[in-house]
Structure 1
Amino acid sequence: MAELSYRTALVTGASSGLGRGLALWLARRGVKVYAAARRRENLEALANEARAAHAHIEPVELDVADADTTLARIRELDAACGGLDLIIANAGFGQETSGKRIKWDIVQKVIDVNVTGAAATLSAVLPQMVERKRGHIVGVASLAAFRGLPRNAAYSASKAFLSTFMESLRVDLRGTGVQVTCLYPGFVKSEMTAQNKFQMPFLLETEEAVELMARAIVRGDSQYAFPWQMARVMGLVKQLPNALFDAAMRKTR
């Protein structure tokens, strides 16, 4: 497999699912990957799998919900490795937040991980990247960012924040040498989606989703939504007037 232009990368949420897959995909192509997550034992297993493939993954025990620690740790890694070339803010949390039965502790956790944690991850060494005139930051949003979906007030809003955050950064960073990519996955098999009690259209296997995301990152896409069928549906849903959208969502329930 051909080596990439990145020397080093940080991937959050790397203990399972898309984050784990992206860390392995990059490491197998010659990138030194710092794999960050809360579950140390999962990270050690990931590092061992990479080692067996003659790849290098460095486990980093980290909870992105602790923004101050996240900022400090990423800055330490950046200084120690001579500059991170790629940062992927993939860590995420989702749980039902129906307006009829909303629980603040769940809302707060979604915000701490998906909003504050993602923003801290992406902001940590952005000034250093600009100074070096190189780097690539990637935010993993969701097609759920396109509209406020039923029973997902916190999750949809958190991903909408990340989408807009990345867009503003992209505009600001044009011409600096720092690339910005925002990814919008649909339904992908994972620990989180395994909790869903509804039918998930166009559900992708993790490996397939990882391949699509990795290729979009390497291409330097500013935005990439997938699978294309679900992305097209959500693009149309985004254009619906509120009255039609509300009626459609009542029927989906």
Structure 2
Amino acid sequence: MSEMSYRTALVTGASSGLGRGLALWLGKRGVKVYAAARRLPRLEALAQEGKSLGATIEPVELDVSLADATLARVRELDEACGGLDLVVANAGVGFPTHARNFPWEDARKVIDVNVTGAVATLSAVLPRMVERNRGHLVGVSSLASCRGLPQNAAYSASKAFLDTFLESLRVDLHGTGVRVTCIRPGFVKTEITAGIQHPMPFLLEADPAVDRMGQAILRGDDVYGFPWPMARAVGMARWVPNALFDAVASKVL
């Protein structure tokens, strides 16, 4: 599927950060983008910016933590536009969840958005994509999914769920015209990382990160992690014995 094959796209979490950047990136390439998030004024400002760049971006007020409402709204959009070609589940939240003082309410928010919300977004029109024999599902995971990071049990686990969910979809859809891509960013300068106090190796600016994500989508990569030094290091960490990993990771934060 080439750039011109995408007529329509839905991007969640589009009011800021990577989602906002990706909505503009796609819009500038001729894709009609439904930009979804809770903060409608920000989406309206995004639509105006897109218009000045020749992009068509439609604001969609949406809270993905409300799964049933998300399913219904995404299906409405699919019907209104004659079929979504690309669905990007980008909306995500992250809060510290230290096991020694575990904050259930924060953990639940992470699960509601990063797990339940992502699955609702991706599965809403999946049967229709299969019937049409075309479409592309993209989930924005994280390199934090590869192992359980200290003080981030809920976040790391939520992204690990998304990784595995997308992999199973990809296997089931093999041989069809529906593609699945899992994107695993490392540290990127966004609102989410603005408050992080610990070191963030290989920190990327948002614009180059968005471009890498967009190119991976257009290539139809199965899995794309970046930046590559961080992705390689995290990949190697999978093979580190637990005793060593626990001893080192517990002292990182």
SS at match of 2:101: coil
How many residues get paired? 252
Say yes or no: does 1:101 pair with 2:101: yes
Q: For each residue in 1:153-179, what CA deviation from the matched residue of structure 2 results, as whole angstroms up to 9, or x when unmatched?
A: 000000000000000000000111000
User: For residue 172 of structure 1, what is the aligned residue in structure 2?
Assistant: 172
Shift of 1:244: 1.1
Shift of 1:4: 2.8
- The unaligned stretches of length 5 or more in structure 1 are none
Question: Distance between the aligned counterparts of 1:63 and 1:195, measured in 2?
Answer: 23
SS at match of 1:20: helix
Question: Distance between the aligned counterparts of 2:3 and 2:12, measured in 1?
Answer: 22
Alignment of 1:7-156 (within 5 A): 7-156=7-156
SS at match of 1:34: strand
Sequence identity of aligned pairs in percent?
69
When the two chains are superposed, the root-mean-square deviation of aligned CA atoms in Å is 0.9
Name the TM-score, length of structure 1 as normaliser: 0.98
Q: For each residue in 1:38-70, what CA deviation from the matched residue of structure 2 results, as whole angstroms up to 9, or x when unmatched?
A: 000000000000001111000000000000000
- The unaligned stretches of length 5 or more in structure 2 are none
Write out the 4+ residue segments of structure 1 that deviate beyond 4 Å after TM superposition: none
Question: Distance between the aligned counterparts of 2:198 and 2:241, measured in 1?
Answer: 25
Q: For each residue in 1:169-209, what CA deviation from the matched residue of structure 2 results, as whole angstroms up to 9, or x when unmatched?
A: 00000111000000000000010111111110000000010
Question: Distance between the aligned counterparts of 1:200 and 1:53, measured in 2?
Answer: 33
What amino acid is aligned across from residue 175 of structure 1 in structure 2? Answer: G
Shift of 1:250: 2.6
Say yes or no: does 1:181 pair with 2:145: no
Asked whether the 8 Å contact 2:3–2:218 carries over to 1, the reply is no
Shift of 1:251: 3.2
Alignment of 1:229-240 (within 5 A): 229-240=229-240
What amino acid is aligned across from residue 81 of structure 2 in structure 1? Answer: C
Name the TM-score, length of structure 2 as normaliser: 0.98
What amino acid is aligned across from residue 57 of structure 2 in structure 1? Answer: I
Question: Distance between the aligned counterparts of 2:35 and 2:180, measured in 1?
Answer: 20
Question: Distance between the aligned counterparts of 1:67 and 1:114, measured in 2?
Answer: 11
SS at match of 2:251: helix
Question: Distance between the aligned counterparts of 1:4 and 1:209, measured in 2?
Answer: 22
